[in-house]
Amino acid sequence: MQAQPHILVVDDDREIRTLLGRYLDGQGFRVSVAADRRECEQRLGSGQFDLIVLDVMLPDGSGLDICRSLRDRKPHIPVILLTALKEDVDRIIGLELGADDYLGKPFNPRELSARIRAVLRRSAPDEAAPPKVRVYHFAGYRLEPDTRKVMDADGSLIDLTGAEFDLLQVFLDRPGRLLSRDQLLDLTQGREREPLDRSVDVLMSRLRRKFAEAGEENLFKTVRNGGYQLTARVETAETGA
């Protein structure tokens, strides 16, 4: 992570943009702001960003459309969605499109700052890798935590978002264990599950779909009223850095 991560805040509410710009700047972030989709695209075309805070409702388009476009053009930039508390459908769709986290309005800027730091920690490569690097082997796949890559037996990459990668590694660190939704949310995002929070279910659905497309359809087992379980055998190995 850079010494001063560059955050792009996209929201049509001038008061929110001003508040977040000042607050996040005081928290050690470099902040740029955009009022709509047009200005967001201009910012993305002229600067480099470490994370985007993106409002779902914009005057000239949907933040969900921006999120979908970013997954194709700039898949490694994490996105935190801002949604109204009752817009549960938008939150779910946003996660399906590759958003890394979401926060309902109104929100405390302090909580947003904590979410930003958590997402940046999860998405940043390990710059101080030890002499030996741990890798995981499971069901013919290889996961490398230091490069945050997952490859099949032929060396082809499985394209995972940061949130999907983190969820998969949680299972690999606990092979065979049944993990509840609350446990998974705490282990991946460090927060408690809100009522009707379906973020874990959405991420699990995305993981299953991507591995099914790669030829592995039964990697996870769903236990009713229990949670999820990795079915594959996991082996770990250390390689030279």
DSSP string, 126-166: -TT--SEEEEEEETTEEEETTTTEEE-TTS-B----HHHHH
Residue 130 binned pLDDT confidence (cut-offs 50, 70, 90): very low
Per the CB < 8 A criterion, the answer to whether 172 and 234 are in contact is: yes
Looking up tokens 């996991």 gives 234
CATH node for 132-240: 1.10.10.10
In degrees and rounded to multiples of 5, residue 213 shows phi and psi of -65, -25
Write out pLDDT tens, residues 196-230. 567 888 889 999 999 999 888 889 999 988 899 99
Average pLDDT over residues 183-190: 80
Task: Classify the C-alpha dihedral 40-42-44-46 as positive or negative.
Answer: negative
**pTM over 0.85, yes/no:** no
pLDDT for 129 equals 44
pLDDT for 85 equals 55
pLDDT for 102 equals 86
One of 3.40.50.720, 3.40.1160.10, 3.40.50.2300, 3.20.20.70 is the CATH number of 6-123, namely 3.40.50.2300
Write out pLDDT tens, residues 154-175. 999 999 988 899 999 999 999 8
Residue 12 binned pLDDT confidence (cut-offs 50, 70, 90): very high
Q: How far apart are CA 218 and CA 238, in angstroms?
A: 27
Q: Which helix (H) or strand (E) holds 182?
A: helix 181-189
Q: Where are the domains of the chain?
A: 6-123, 132-240
Nearest Cα residue to 99 out of 123, 68, 120 = 68
Q: How far apart are CA 194 and CA 27, in angstroms?
A: 26
What distance lies between CA 80 and its chain's CA centroid?
Answer: 8
> Residue type at 79?
V
pLDDT for 192 equals 53
Nearest Cα residue to 236 out of 128, 144, 109 = 144
Nearest Cα residue to 19 out of 53, 61, 62 = 53
Q: How far apart are CA 30 and CA 16, in angstroms?
A: 16
Per the CB < 8 A criterion, the answer to whether 220 and 228 are in contact is: yes
